[in-house]
Amino acid sequence: MPEFTMYQVDAFTSALFRGNPAAVLVLDDWLPEAIMQNIAAENNLAETAFVRPNGRGWDLRWFTPVHEAPFCGHATLATSHVLAHELGIDGQLVFETQVGTLRVDRSNDGYQLDFPSFPPEILTEIPAPLRAISGTGEVKAFRNFENMFVELADEQAVLDFVPDLPAILKLDPLSLVITAKGDMHDFVSRYFAPLAGIPEDPVTGSIHATLVPYWAQKLGKPNLSAFQRSSRGGHLLCELKGDRVLISGSAVTFMKAQIYLP
C-alpha cells in the first residue's frame, strides 16, 4: 500500500486556526488525476496542492474538493512553507503552473509571492444574476478569467453580505468576489466559490491578482494593505509592479500526516 507524507498549513496567518488551510503533498511524480482528486475530496479543504521537482524548479497543481483549479494563491504559499520550512530548501522557489511561472522568496515576515497581474475587465452590462446577488440598483462590477467582482459601498456592507449560494451558482463557470474600500486597510474582500465546492474561501491569494490592479488604480498607489473579511480572516501586503502582483504573507504548519493509498 503506497504511503505518502501530507502537510496541512494555515496560510496568510502567523497563528494557527486563522488564515486559510491547505494540504500539501510533495511527490516524485504526479499520481493519477483521479487519485489526486480523491485526496482533495477526502481532505475537503479549499485546496490540496501537489508539487514535484522538474529539474529547474517545481511543477505545481491545485485541486479543490470537486475539480482541478487553474490558479491558487494560498496553497502556493502553503507549498512554499512546506518546501522551505519543513524540507529545508533554500533560495527562491520557482513554480510552473497553469497560469505561468510563479516565484516565491523568503522574507523577514514570511514569504513574498510573485504572481502575474490579471487586470480587471470592467463590466458595462451587468448580468441579471449579478444584479440580483448584489441587491443594489447601481452595480460596480468587473471580471477576470475565473471570477466576477462586485464593489460594495463600504467595509460594513462586505461584512453584512449574506451569500445566496444558489444564485451565485448561476454565474457558472465564474465565482463571486465582493470588495470595498477598507476602514483599517486599503481594501477588503470576501470570496464565494460554490461551483468549486467552496461556499466561502477564508483567504484567497489568486483574487488579489485582479483586486490589486483594480484598487491600485482607484486609490492611486501601488502598495496596498488588504484584508479578507471571512470568519478566519487573513492579511495580505500587496504591491503592483508592472505586469506582476507581489503578495506577502506568513504561514504556519498545523499537521504532518502519513496517508495510505490503494
**Bridge partners for 11 per DSSP:** 20, 251
Backbone CA torsion sign across 245, 69, 30, 87: positive
CA pair distance 20, 16, nearest whole angstrom = 10
Q: What angle do CA 140, 192, 77 make, to 5 degrees?
A: 110
CA dihedral 107, 220, 73, 12 (to 10 degrees): 50
Cell of 117: 497581474
Q: Is 28 exposed, middle or buried, given 0-12, 13-18 or 19+ CB atoms closer than 10 A?
A: exposed
Quote the cell numbers at residue 167.
Answer: 444564485
The C-alpha cell 464565494 sits at 192
| Residue in 6, 145, 11, 28 with CA at minimum distance from that of residue 76 | 11
**Cell (9 digits) for 90:** 533554500
Query: Quick check: is 125 catalytic?
Result: no
Confirm if 148 and 165 have CB atoms less than 8 A apart: no
Helix then strand then coil, in percent of the chain rounded to 5, is 20, 40, 35
Query: Looking at 47, 146, 151, 155, which residue is catalytic?
Result: 47
Give the active site residues. 47
